[in-house]
Amino acid sequence: MKKALKILGLSILIILVLLIALPFAFKGQIKDMVKSFINQNINANVEFSDVSLSLLKSFPQANVEVNDLVITNFEPFKNDTLVSTKNIAFTMSVKELFKSAEDAPLTINSITIDDALVNLKTNTKGKSNYDITKGDGSTTETETTSDRGFAFDIENYSINNSTFHYLDEGSKIQFSINELNHIGKGTFSGTVSELDTNTEALVSFSMDSTAYLSNNHIKLDALIDLDLENSKYTFKDNKALINQLPLEFHGFVQLIEEGQDIDITFENPGSTFKDFLAVIPSNYSKSIEDVQTTGDFKVKGIIKGKVTEETIPTLDISITSNNASFKYPDLPKSVENIIINTEIKNETGYVDDTYVNINTLNFSIDKDVFKSSATIKNLTKNMLVNANVDGTLNLDNLTKAYPLELDQDLSGILKANIRTAFDMNAIETNAYERIKSSGTMSISDFKFDSEDMVNPVSISKADMTFNPSTVTLNNFNATTGSSDINANGSINNLLGFVLTDGTLKGNFNVNSNNFVLSDFMSSDEEAPASEQTETTTSSNSETLKIPAFLDCTINANAANVTYDNLNLKDVKGALVIKDQQATLNNLTSKLFNGNLAVSGNVSTKNETPTFNLDLGAENFDIAESFAGLDMFQSIAPIAKALQGKLNTKLNLKGDLTQDFTPNLNTLFGDAAAELLTTKVDPQNAQVLNKLESSLSFVDFDKFSFNDLKAYLEFADGKVTVKPFTFQYQDIAIEVSGSHGFDKTMAYNAVFNVPAKYLGSDINKLINSINDSQTNDITVPITANISGSYTEPKVSTDLSSGVKNLTSQLTEIQKQKLIGQGKNELNNLLGGLTKTNSTTTETNTDSTSTKETETKTSSEEQIKENVKNVLGGLLGGKKKKTDTVN
């Protein structure tokens, strides 16, 4: 007995060793077989990471697995992924492993596919990326199925957690199946067999950008007769679940030379209105188990005909409900008096002849009754719509009767009595002559919010009349933020805006008591902090945007308009909004006790908003404008010390910051300014205090800039002031230079000072010359201003003053000496009658030499005296330059 057990144990051990070792022996053969099958049958690039064999996993059958299979296309879909799968497993008899690639084909008993992705595509030229099998021309007539590598005698198969996508670019059809789990049992070896399948997936379908299914949950239990000889598949006992709507269907699909022949009928087995709620995805309808319903609901249809390149099956689908109602247990309101009568039909087999008749769609909530009907034709091309709406709807009751999840609560009373007929191409191309609408619509106490608006809009009243080509806005009263609007006008494409996410076009007359510009800007939130780079300074910042959906002209009249920190009064003008740009046309208002005129534009189309404006200011109060305009403080910081009125014309363009204020470093343009009845308060400007302390003859308390005109240019972060001259008493002052928006300064001020202001020493020096010309002498003294607004530096340059005054006095003295020399010479010539020519020449030379010596001596003496006097006057004896820190 012990010996027998040892033999049995040893035999089992040998078998286990063989079962473990044999896969390694046959691995190369199986891999060659797979490669041989691919090369013989597939015209595409195929890759896989490994082929493995196990004799234990599916014992007593062998298990072959292909891992990480990827099939990519050749031209015209080069490098597109057709199929990818994590794992494909086959089971087969062990004896199949002893066949070579040249022997009879391998017979496969079961297949399991995990995590597959299939992308099928047909381009506009009719080429399909799944047409990759090698044609009949690759084999001879004598070759049979046994030459191709594999044969199928499948008992069961499964597809797990897989995805299927189909796109027809020509017809713009998209079909996708996600989270697909499918199993089937049966056999394919006989001529006629039976297949039992179970499928569960999420299905989406769209045609020409219109979504008809969107991740709808589908369950299908199908018992199918397979007539492989005639390629006919008959549905015997089939039950489907679309979302939660049960359907039963019967009929067949047969493959024919032209395509498919289909004859299927279906209907819901029950007839309660709860079946209607089951059609709606559970994300929107929530649990319907405890919903109370009355009335009936029926869906039934026939799909019959051939699917070819030119035709589709005829359709006859009806959806009906009579006198139905439903109420969710957790909601206070119910929807009652529901009547639905809808047909989906195609009577010719041509896709363009498919149409939908919504003969009746009525319901009521409380006392509000809503009735509608519509016909929709030409679904796949230029869709034609003819619709009627008549009723009242309290929007607040929608969420009280149905479990809608909204970002904002809906409220307001909508009343509509509208008849409209249009085609979608007319909507998209603004062909208003093909849009026929009539009727009225009003809304009251309505609140609207969207991502395109900073604040919700509250509409207290809006009345519209629908005309064939336009919608007339009779009355519109609304508020948003702290702004109020009263408007009327016309809207050219309201249907285009509502149906196609198009632009809202129109012309409006707007009156407002208070209009805050930022209330009408949309905001673009930046990426979260985790997605931003290290250089990002804020994770929650927003950029204001002019809404892209607006294309309108607004004739505005507002008592008060707020832009940034500016309050404009009595604003009138035209505002054109288009393509995320606001253009101002001759806008006028009162500001800073003066008048303002503005033309130009602000654009938010690019990532960085920009502006280009022409501004005209008349009789602006300088102190108020300086306090109210940050930009003015940077353009003219000296204005802080000025009191009075200002006229100016500015042309400015540049970038705007995130909070919609000008980025001064990008400012470009010019300005012309005129000061009226202006006084100076030097205590408000450090630079004037410094300048006053450096020049003893200047008292800024006595300054006045009446009728002063200056011209400025802006570029590269600097303000350049062109040279201008003004008068302080009888001193002419010329100023020029520039300052930066970083508060640095580089200015020169040249004071042409009359000699009488320079003290007794200068006057004694001038009087010593004893000439009437000295009465008009002026001395230019240059003040160089640098540093910053808060810490200015002033230096006085005496060299030009010394040179100028010396030159003036020397010239006067020279002319005086020349005159004296001529008189002496004439006297000498008259008294000497007997003197020869040699003596005369000698005397003349002596006189000339004497004049030159006198001139040189006088000039040097004058220069020295001027240097001494001016140096002492400006605080430093005999210094060319004194600097005041």
pLDDT at 466 over 50: yes
Predicted local confidence at residue 108, as pLDDT: 72
Arithmetic mean of pLDDT, 130-139 = 59
Predicted local confidence at residue 18, as pLDDT: 43
Of 419, 416, 504, 398, the C-alpha closest to 463 is 416
3-class DSSP state for residue 528? coil
Return the domain boundaries, the chain: 760-829+847-884
Cα-based distances in Å from 461 to 151, 474, 488, 506, 556: 74, 10, 12, 19, 19
Bigger pLDDT: 781 vs 408: 781
Predicted local confidence at residue 155, as pLDDT: 75
3-class DSSP state for residue 326? strand
Predicted local confidence at residue 3, as pLDDT: 46
At 105, the pLDDT band (50, 70, 90 cuts) reads low
Find all residues with CB under 8 Å of 84, minimum gap 6, and list them: 69, 70, 71, 116, 117
Sign of CA dihedral 478, 480, 484, 488: negative
Arithmetic mean of pLDDT, 613-637 = 83
Arithmetic mean of pLDDT, 47-70 = 73
Cα–Cα dist 313/263, whole Å: 8
List the beta bridge partners of residue 787: 792
Q: Is residue 437 within 8 Å of residue 399, measured between CB atoms?
A: no
Cα–Cα dist 208/376, whole Å: 15
At 547, the pLDDT band (50, 70, 90 cuts) reads confident
3-class DSSP state for residue 318? strand
What are the structure tokens assigned to 516, written together?
A: 């805050």
Predicted local confidence at residue 640, as pLDDT: 77
HEC sequence for 341-394: EEEEEECCCCHHHCEEEEEEEEEEECCEEEEEEEEEECCCCCCEEEEEEEEEEE
Bigger pLDDT: 775 vs 778: 778
Tens digits of residue pLDDT in 712-771? 998 988 899 999 888 888 888 899 999 988 889 999 988 888 877 766 666 666 666 655
Predicted local confidence at residue 152, as pLDDT: 56
Whole-number average pLDDT of the chain: 78
Total-model pTM? 0.60
Arithmetic mean of pLDDT, 480-509 = 84
At 374, the pLDDT band (50, 70, 90 cuts) reads very high
Predicted local confidence at residue 27, as pLDDT: 54
pLDDT at 97 over 70: no
For tokens 């009845």, the residue is: 677
Lowest model confidence (mean pLDDT) among 13-22, 115-124, 395-404:
13-22
Lowest model confidence (mean pLDDT) among 86-95, 257-266, 381-390, 441-450:
86-95
Alpha helices in 778-836 (DSSP H): 799-831
Predicted local confidence at residue 844, as pLDDT: 47
Q: What is the CA radius of gyration of the chain?
A: 48
Phi and psi for 174 in degrees, rounded to 5?
-125, 130
